[in-house]
Structure 1
Amino acid sequence: MQDSEAYTQEEVRLLKSLGYMSVKLEAREFVLEETIKGLQSRNAELLEEKKRNNLFSKIFVSLFLSVSLYIFLVILAAKLNYENKHSARVVEAIFLMVSIFIIRNSGFSFSFLGVTLEGAAESIRRMLPGTLAACGALILLKFFIAIFWAKEIGDTLFVMDNFDLILLAYLPVAAIQEFISRGVIQTAIESVLDKPYANFQAILTASALFGLVHIQLSVELAFASFVCSLYWGYLYIQKKCLIGVIISHFMIGGLAYVLGFWDYLYII
């Protein structure tokens, strides 16, 4: 088309100009397509962030109301001189039902909250060393207590009567507590905080709440629950799977029960 014998110089220049314009238009079209894709991707990220913020807001409100109810029940029991051991269970059940309702309507899957078998084997492998070490420490502690305070608590290492159905009932309790503490609260907090301290802040907050619900039983139990919760929170962030955390919770709490460190109602 640029043959000077077939076209005049003006026609050649016009054809070249049209060619350049076509290339520029194609380049601009490509840039616009990439811009649109970028905007669509950013829009999807903003929608996902909005969903997370909405989920956190609803969970925070339900958590605040649940803690308020818990405090009210504890104070009411104290006013009525009633030794209340079940208020935490009542609040947990209410918060669990509300959380499930919120999650089902949030658009998030339960796997987002750690209810998944993906990574379960690795989760179990990661929890075994620390959990076995904690169990060994409990047995060693009971051994020394049995030696030096045998008159008060007896000299048996394990309380054989505690190998019962109550011990099995502790497994679903541990699962519920971990789903609420790690799956719901820790995940919700972590999802709306900025890195790099989101994990630490989420673990600390969830553990503080976990210790708080045990404080009416005893300060010692609340502190022990807080320390254990820090460990379980760390385990959870490794694979975002609750399986290993639940097993660790059951092993440590169940062993403490059969060692006779506290009454069944105080362990859960």
Structure 2
Amino acid sequence: MEEIIDEEIIKILQKNNLFSSLSNKQLNDLIPLIKVIDFDANKLIIYENDNPLDLYIIWKGEVEVLKKAKDGTELRISTLQSGEAIGEMGLIDNSPRSATIRTIAPTKLLVFSIADLKNLTKNTLFYNQLISKLSDVINELQFYINEQPTYLTLISNLAGTLSNRIRQTNQLTVDTLRSDLEHTKARIAMGKFMIDVLLVVVIYMYTFSVLAKLAHSHQSTSIVSIPLIIFFGIIVLFMMKNSSYPLQFYGLTLNNWRRALWEGIWLSIPLILLIVLIKWLVINLVPQFSHLTLINAVILTGNDMHPNHNLPSLIALVLAYLVFTPIQELIARGALQSSLQEFLIGPNRIWWAILMSNILFSVTHLHVSISLAIAVLIPGFFWGWLYYRHKTLIGVSISHLIVGGLAFFVFDIRSIFAF
């Protein structure tokens, strides 16, 4: 029975690179040094930072290699199975164990004392010293043996270097795994937040589509619109507050507000001039719109050209716009663009985030008209870039208020929309 067990042990040792080149005689010489130990599942074999006393070969079962992160969390960096070695770095140096080993399943181990294995080396050197005293035929071998310490020193130094590099690689692996884990958790949280925001956007679009229908039927919706806009803004703020990210992440910060405010104003000027140019070209080149004036006729004449528009409704419309615009930026830029910038990967993720959030921003104008939804794409790209530049909603909200206010109330840009 013992012979059968010894044969099984030798086969296991031959599967491992440490012992695969040894002869059968050498392997048999190792048998008396081996202890066989059984472990149940989920039992610790080696603790990280322990002194290296033994070398283990897995006979049966499976173990996991665990490495502590800086916060104390243990992360699995690999698994080992039958025929693989545990704690082999202890043969090279006396550094503390670089990882913890824990069984995954019931495991049987072959255990060597590192001290016993090193004693084998001493016996071999003693044997070589005896051989060196032989006849003149062995003189060349004597020279080789005299030179050997230099080579052995180099090999020993190399082994130490490799040992340190392996330990550093293990730590780097742990840091990478930890970083990947945190990034994955963040992306999952951000994905959930984005789904919630998109749901709010859909409800928002349906709600204001109904209000637009009521407005077309000459029913006043101003008294409902403003509270609804505020309601949606509060919902989004609540979602941001309860996310795993600070409010600053969503652009709700006063950092760099002076620069954001100033650039939000003067960078809007080219956009306003573009709007004026477009309306002027349409008036002069398209006969259908030749009767229009560049500036809103109500402002020029003081007469209301639309019987459904009166001063109270106009004031309500302006107030709604003042409330509506910052909340729109909160959703489009603060919630959607910020989330997409964090969620997407790749070198062009910022531009994809701007594009996707801007398309959703455009869609929120469909309750007014398709042409308006298309028209806001251009300023939307500009505001997306402005938000990314400043990392705050202050500048982009001011720019949106200025550009949108002039476009709708002063230049009446909607008057040139054919659909």
Residue 337 of structure 2: aligned partner: 186
* Equivalent of residue 260 in structure 2, options 106, 115, 123: 123
Residue 156 of structure 1: aligned partner: 300
CA RMSD of aligned residues (A): 4.5
Residue 67 of structure 1: aligned partner: 202
Say if 2:240 and 2:250, in contact at 8 Å, map to a contact too. no
Q: How does 1:170-249 map to 2 (within 5 A)?
A: 170-249=321-400
Report how far residue 249 of structure 1 moved: 0.5
The answer to whether the aligner puts 1:107 opposite 2:251 as a matched pair is: no
After superposition, give the CA deviation of every residue in 1:246-267 in whole Å (9 maximum; x if it has no partner). Answer: 110011112234416179xxxx
Say if 2:364 and 2:373, in contact at 8 Å, map to a contact too. yes
Please state which structure has a larger fraction of its residues in helix.
1
CA distance in 1 between partners of 2:320 and 2:270 (Å): 24
After superposition, give the CA deviation of every residue in 1:65-124 in whole Å (9 maximum; x if it has no partner). Answer: 541563376369759968686788677555433433333232210111112222333434
CA distance in 2 between partners of 1:239 and 1:157 (Å): 40
Name whichever of 115-124 and 190-199 sits farther off.
115-124
Residue 43 of structure 1: aligned partner: 178
Residue 292 of structure 2 aligns with an amino acid whose one-letter code is W
Say if 1:52 and 1:188, in contact at 8 Å, map to a contact too. no
Q: Secondary structure at the match of 1:156?
A: helix
CA distance in 2 between partners of 1:99 and 1:241 (Å): 16
Residue 230 of structure 1 aligns with an amino acid whose one-letter code is F
| Higher RCO structure, 1 or 2 (CA under 8 Å, sep 6+) | 1
Aligned residues with identical type, % of pairs: 23
Residue 34 of structure 2: aligned partner: none
Change (3 A) 1:149 1:78: closer
Residue 5 of structure 1: aligned partner: none
Say if 2:361 and 2:380, in contact at 8 Å, map to a contact too. yes
Please state which structure has a larger fraction of its residues in strand.
2
After superposition, give the CA deviation of every residue in 1:2-48 in whole Å (9 maximum; x if it has no partner). Answer: xxxxxxx99xxxxxx9xx98996798467536633552354134313
Change (3 A) 1:111 1:154: closer
Structure 2 unaligned residues grouped into runs of 5+ = 1-124, 127-151, 284-288, 304-310, 415-419
After superposition, give the CA deviation of every residue in 1:118-145 in whole Å (9 maximum; x if it has no partner). Answer: 2333434544444112223445667786
Residue 205 of structure 2 aligns with an amino acid whose one-letter code is Y
Q: Secondary structure at the match of 1:32?
A: helix
Report how far residue 214 of structure 1 moved: 1.5
Structure 1 unaligned residues grouped into runs of 5+ = 1-8, 11-16, 264-268
TM-score with structure 1 length normalisation?
A: 0.69
CA distance in 1 between partners of 2:266 and 2:211 (Å): 42
TM-score with structure 2 length normalisation?
A: 0.47
Change (3 A) 1:69 1:237: closer
After superposition, give the CA deviation of every residue in 1:193-228 in whole Å (9 maximum; x if it has no partner). Answer: 122232222222212221222212122322222222
Residue 255 of structure 1: aligned partner: 406
Say if 1:63 and 1:95, in contact at 8 Å, map to a contact too. no
Say if 2:264 and 2:399, in contact at 8 Å, map to a contact too. yes
CA distance in 2 between partners of 1:85 and 1:57 (Å): 33
- Computing the radius of gyration from Cα coordinates, the structure with the larger value is 2
CA distance in 2 between partners of 1:132 and 1:215 (Å): 26
